[in-house]
Structure formats: C-alpha cells, structure tokens
Amino acid sequence: MNTAAIPEFAIDVRGLNKHFGEKHVVNNVSLRVRSGEIFGFLGPNGSGKTTTIRMVCGLLKPDSGSGTCLGYDIQRESAEIKRNVGYMTQKFSFWDDLTIMENLDFVARMYQVRERRNAVRAALKGLGLEARAGQLAGELSGGWKQRMALAACMLHQPRLLLLDEPTAGVDPRARRDFWDEIQALAAKGISVMVSTHYMDEAVRCHKLAYIAYGKLLTQGSAAEVIASQRLTTWAIRGDRLAELQVELRQQPGVTQTVTFGDVLHASGSDAPLLQRTVETAAASRGLRAEKIDTSLEDVFIHLMSGADEQPGGRQ
C-alpha cells in the first residue's frame, strides 16, 4: 500500500457542482469520508451519484467546488488521485476474450506495478481466483466478474476504493461474499465509498449519504439518518391491505404508506395523530396494528417522496 501519510478524511469535498448543458446534475454537494470508513452513497438512477464519484477521483472536473481526495486537491492534482484510488465502474469494463490472469496482468502493466507477476498472483489468491485464472472473462458469471474487477482495483494497492453499484445484477450469495471482502479491506485501513440500491448493503456501511436530483438530502450513520427524519411508523398485518393503503393515504397524520409483502407500513411525523388514525382504521377491519422502529427503507422512501414534491424535483 502507498506509504504516504494518511489524512483524517479520505474524501473531503465542499460545494461540488456539475452541469451537462442546462441540466444541473450535481448541485452543491459536500461529503466527508473518514480514512478506513465504508461510506454508502444512495439515490435513484440519474441522481448524480456516478458524476460525484467521477469528480472525486479526478476523472471529471467540477464546474465549481473544492476539496481533497487522499489529501490531493481535486481540481489540481487529479493525476495523483488516480494513482492512489481504485475505481470499479457500474459496467464490467474488462476484456471478454482474455483470461482473468491476462486481464489482471494488463491492468498491472497500465499502473506500472512493481513486481507485476507477484502482484497478479497475490490478487488472484486474495480474492479466491486462482482456480479460475485461466478462464476467459467473458465466460464468468456476474459474481466472478465482480471478484475479478475488485482484484483489478486492488493491484496497485490503493488507499481508497470507489465502487459504483458493484453488486447490481448479482445474486444474493455473491453480494454477501463481496461485502465480506469489502469489510475485510476496510479493517486493513482502506477507505471505501460505494453506491448501492440495496438496503441490506446500506446498513453494513459506517456512514450513509442520500442524493436525489443532484442534491444531497441527508448524511450520517444509519441511526442518525433515521433519527433526522423524526418519523413514527406502524405496521399493519392482515388481508386486503391494498384497500387499506388507499384509505390511509387520505387520513390525517399519515405521511406515507408502503407495502412490504403482507405488512403495510404507515409513517408520519405527528406520533399521537398517526396512532389514532392507524388504530381506528385497523380496528374497523379487524386487523392488527403495532408500532415498530422506522427502517432505513421507510426513511429513504420518505426522502424520495419529498424530493419529487420539490420544485424542479424531476429533471
């Protein structure tokens, strides 16, 4: 790993803005990611996650804003940032007609990795790819492609990993194995910023940020993000929940209703009023209602609804 002094914050950026034509893709975004931290970056498609990541790692120049990545200035020292960051793109971007080993060897040459062959062997071993080293990349499943891409990111021993929806389209077991690897890397002091749509992945992050339509809506630990929205949530179980959901949406104290399988969540910021409304509606239908802890998913649905309702929310 690079032996340069490790700053307190792997990422420390303020007021980032980026336009593409008339579209304001990233709007005054500020982020801090501590060294050795797993930072989850969440938001819907088109929210500005990828553009922000590219500005942080020196691939895209901000229209305005300032800050550092690994202590390097994002406006003036992009070359140094690129040498110390591992960036895993959304789309598999390696060569299908080369083997895993050939792909890794090519990447190691690009980074001018010292003792290249030893580095490739170590990457293969570290991510359990030794037995498949001679297999063509184009023949790999999504989970194995993901492992190979992570191995390629680690060849030059980066101090920061930027992972852009790395588990999209990957089966649950492969996702779990991937996150075990990420947590092991973080335990060694490597910082990780990862964008994801999955709530079970979000709760494995030390800190979270949620962005919608270019604007950062909230950031903090999972507990801090949930607490910041001051929502109370009730769960209602039983039959014909779709009808009840439509009814509750019109009732006082109910900010949102979301169905999760055979359970209906009703949330609101006025706890006493919400309780009266939910208990009355449930009792009239012979259903059971109970107060529950508000989940991250409840909060993110609430944030997304609020962003939709803001002027200019849809871009």
| 124, 48 contact by CB (below 8 A) | no
Amino acid residing at 136: L
- Please give the backbone phi and psi of residue 78, each rounded to the nearest 5 degrees, phi first: -65, -35
| 26, 18 contact by CB (below 8 A) | yes
Cβ atoms within 10 Å of 141's Cβ, excluding its own: 11
pTM for the structure as a whole: 0.87
Domains located in the chain, CATH noted: 9-225 (3.40.50.300), 230-293 (3.30.70.100)
- Please give the backbone phi and psi of residue 60, each rounded to the nearest 5 degrees, phi first: -140, 130
Per-residue pLDDT of 63-88, as tens digits, reads 999 999 999 999 999 999 999 999 99
Pairwise CA distance, residues 66 & 110, whole Å: 29
Q: Which two tokens stand for residue 252?
A: 């006082």
Per-residue pLDDT of 166-194, as tens digits, reads 888 788 888 888 899 999 999 999 999 99
Strand ranges for the chain from DSSP E = 9-20, 23-34, 38-42, 64-69, 72-73, 85-88, 160-164, 191-195, 207-212, 215-220, 232-237, 256-260, 263-268, 288-292
The band of 3, judged by pLDDT with boundaries at 50, 70 and 90, is very low
177 CB-contact burial (10 Å; exposed 0-12 / middle 13-18 / buried 19+): middle
